[in-house]
Chain A
Amino acid sequence: MTDMDPSKKVADRYLKREVLGEGTYGVVYKAIDTHTGHTVAIKKIRLGKQKEGVNFTALREIKLLKELKDPNIVELIDAFPHKGNLHLVFEFMETDLEAVIRDRNIFLSPADTKSYLQMTLKGLAYCHKKWVLHRDMKPNNLLIGSNGQLKLADFGLARMFGSPDRRFTHQVFARWYRAPELLFGAKQYGSAVDVWAAACIFAELLLRRPFLQGTSDIDQLGKIFSAFGTPTASQWPDMVYLPDYVEYQYVPAAPLRTLFPMATDDALDLLSKMFTYDPKARISVQQALEHRYFSSVPLPSDPDKLPRPAPKRESRVSDFNLQEGPAVLSPPRKSRRVMPGRDGFEGNSQQADKVDGSFGDFRQTTDDNTGKNESAPMSVDFSIFGLKSPNRPTINSADRTYLKRKLDLEFQQPE
């Protein structure tokens, strides 16, 4: 699979380098754009097995990324067919926010956290301005470039919204980032779902571990309610009308301060506004960006100065570009690192291999800064692992079948 021949040029423009990983719909490899000298990541899109042409998810991503050009959104530089496969060229990104959060050698100052959150919200604000819902916000989809810029990637689940009566599937987002209205089966929802997910990311930056790690949709709601208290009718009047609404035992809200002991008052205020139950009352991304949290001291760090994982060890230095990123896995989706579990450290967040059963993709194994190169199991449908420690489900297996039908129509329906 790995094609290291430097003389190999694709589409007369790109010099193919090593394979970076396997994406949702095909191999991702690194390349040099001979027009610009920049390093790029090329996604080769496998054609659907069932003879359904260009992958539906890929098409959706192309469609939206062609309309979205912003410093905080990953750039789709080019697209071209080659040997019958469609190739998408993205700017090359060094790492992602998940790697930053998980890297225990990295200390994130309050200013750093603020900076990462601000960039996340800026990218999101741009999407919402263009009437695009991202619907798959999670640290792993927030890529970080060599200059420290954070960019939203992976628009495979994104959709345009705007017509208020359109019904959408509620099976979006990795579960831990799913807003309560989605967990209650809402089909008509809006940009507030992305805000909830951004709040989860904010919390994850503060805690350095995923905040609400539900093992099922029901459990996810339970985790949410035990953190913020069961919502009352006055807090969220429309809740009882949602399709999958079930009554939960009443749990009173604990002060947010107890969950985030180190956070500033401003941070907590913003967090509570982003974690508002009623989607109608939840703060918008634009309002969040105008919150005093971002204008109070410490001011957000300069992206250039943000801490990032140390460079990866076996770096193959290319003669074109010395931008040696750490664990590279850039472009949207599924080139994620799999890390060996670390004993004796924060017992409850013992993250074994992160397996997300999304679409049966496997991802490259990369160790972080330990210098060791352990290989962990490539990937497996997480259902095999059953109820092991918090695996990070992108989409659980039940959702998958649903998604296959609903979203990824390359899978043919049984007749």
Chain B
Amino acid sequence: MAANFWTSSHYKHLLEQEDVDMVNTLDKEKGITLEDFKLIKMHMANYILKLAQQVKVRQRVVATAVTYMRRVYTRKSMAEYDPRLVAPTCLYLASKAEESTVQARLLAFYIKKLYADDKYRYEIKDILEMEMKILEALNYYLVVYHPYRSLSPLLQDAGLNDLNMTQLTWGLVNDTYKMDLILVHPPHLIALACIYIASVLRDKDTTAWFEELRVDMNVVKNISMEILDFYESNRMFTEERINVALQKLTLRP
């Protein structure tokens, strides 16, 4: 499995943080700041999750969809690719790629149900049109590896595979998709960072276990710090700020 990841397109296309944090010129012209950019992506990750819960797909599909969405915005502007359409379309595409297809009309139905706002109103034909554009933006690379898979073997190996720890780390992994980590770091390192945080939180001594792993603990600690920073600032991500950011996209420059 791991050997598999190292030869994958996912691995080859991992990005540097600064490349992920580049706000597209078109968006900059509209006054989108890096903060706004991150905020909108986080909001869209939440939107994807909400939709996914309605249409009932596996967490893996959600994770893939969010990854697609984040990858799209390393190449395309939000001004041209409306996040409110990109998000549901990524879920649609990911559901196919992960072999649990969701019908477009079902998505269109739940979009209406979730958001009364006209700006979210997109129909089947919009989703299908955007699907093609997203495929192109992704350069047709669809296979994504996620931290979930390495989570349970790692927990087991560390002797932490009780229900409490499993749920906690699983939840932490879910939250990492509110950030761009999946574009920057190999998934098993993200999994390790989540285990690290969880073990610190629950006072489990895992120092010896981590030391025995042949991984760069600095990277794991950096990822952990990033996750913790996110939780720290999460309180400031209000609905209002998200709306202000999205508003900028609709404004003429």
Given contacts A79-B140, A130-B7, A162-B4, A56 and B135 within 8 Å (CB-CB):
no
Residues of A within 8 A of B132 (CB): 53-54, 81, 84, 86
B138, chain A: closest CB distance, angstroms: 10
Whether A56 contacts B101 in the complex (CB less than 8 A), given A67-B9, A130-B7, comes out as: yes
What 6 pairs between A and B have smallest CB-CB spacing?
A63-B142, A409-B101, A53-B128, A53-B131, A81-B132, A79-B140
Q: Which residues of B contact A160 (CB under 8 A)?
A: 143
* Contact pick for B99, options A52, A53, A159, CB 8 Å: A159
Across-interface contacts of A80 in B (CB, < 8 A):
136
Q: In this assembly, does B8 line the interface, its C-beta being within 8 Å of a C-beta of chain A?
A: yes
Residue B26, interface by CB 8 Å: no
The CA-CA distance from A47 to B125 in the complex, in Å, is: 12
B104 located at the interface, meaning its Cβ lies under 8 Å from any Cβ of chain A in the complex: yes
Cα separation A59 to B143 with both chains bound (whole Å) = 11
Asked, given contacts A63-B97, A66-B143, A81-B136, whether A53 binds B4 with beta carbons under 8 Å apart, the answer is: no
Pick from A53, A59, A67 the residue with the most CB of B within 10 Å.
Answer: A53
Which residues does chain B contribute within 8 Å of A47, judged by CB atoms? 128
Within 8 A of B (CB), among A32-90: 47, 51-54, 56, 59-60, 62-64, 66-67, 79-81, 84, 86
List, in ascending order, chain B residues with CB within 8 A of A321's CB. none
The answer to whether A62 touches B1, judged by C-beta atoms less than 8 angstroms apart, is: no
CB contacts under 8 Å to A, within B154-210, are none
Q: Which of A60, A66, A130, A159 meets B4, CB within 8 Å?
A: A130
13 sample A-B contacts, Cβ–Cβ < 8 Å, listed by A number? A51-B124, A53-B128, A54-B96, A59-B93, A59-B96, A59-B97, A60-B99, A63-B143, A66-B142, A67-B8, A79-B140, A81-B133, A86-B132
With a cutoff of 8 Å between Cβ atoms, the chain A residues found around residue B136 in the complex are 80-81
Q: Knowing A53-B104, A66-B142, say if A131 contacts B135 (CB, 8 Å).
A: no
What residues of chain B lie closer than 8 Å to A163, measured between beta carbons?
149
Expressed in whole angstroms, the Cα–Cα distance for A64 and B97 within the complex equals 10
A362 to B104, CA, bound (A): 29
Q: Are B141 and A66 interface neighbours, CB within 8 A?
A: yes
The answer, yes or no, to whether B92 is at the interface (CB within 8 Å) is yes
A155 shortest CB reach to chain B, Å: 12
Give the CA-CA distance A131 to B9 in the complex, in Å: 14
Chain B interfacial positions (CB closer than 8 Å to A): 1, 4, 7-9, 92-93, 96-97, 99, 101, 103-105, 124-125, 127-128, 131-133, 135-136, 140-143, 149
Q: In the complex, A128 Cα to B104 Cα: how many Å?
A: 33
Shortest Cβ gap from A332 to chain B (Å): 16
- Report B28 CB to chain A, min CB distance, Å: 28
Question: With A and B bound together, what is the CA distance between A154 and B93 in angstroms?
Answer: 21
Closest chain A residue, CB of each to CB of B128: A53
Residue of A nearest to B92 (CB): A53
CB distance from A164 to the nearest CB of B (A): 11
Give the chain A neighbours of B105 by CB distance below 8 A: 51
* CA A56 to CA B98, docked complex, whole Å: 11
Q: Which residue of B lies closest to A159 (CB)?
A: B99
Most buried by B among A66, A163, A412: A66
List, in ascending order, chain B residues with CB within 8 A of A130's CB.
Answer: 4, 7
Greatest chain A CB density within 10 A among B96, B105, B131, B149 is at B96
Task: Compute how far the CA of A80 lies from the CA of B139 in the bound complex, rounded to whole angstroms.
Answer: 9
Within 8 A of B (CB), among A378-415: 409, 412
A81 to B136 Cα, complex, angstroms: 8
Q: Is the CB of A52 within 8 A of B142?
A: no
The chain B residue sitting closest to A48, CB to CB, is B128
B residues within 8 A CB of A409? 96, 101, 103
A86 touches B135 (CB 8 A): yes
Q: Are A54 and B101 in contact (CB under 8 A)?
A: no
How many angstroms from the CA of A237 to the CA of B125 in the assembled complex? 52
CA A162 – CA B8 in complex, angstroms?
Answer: 15
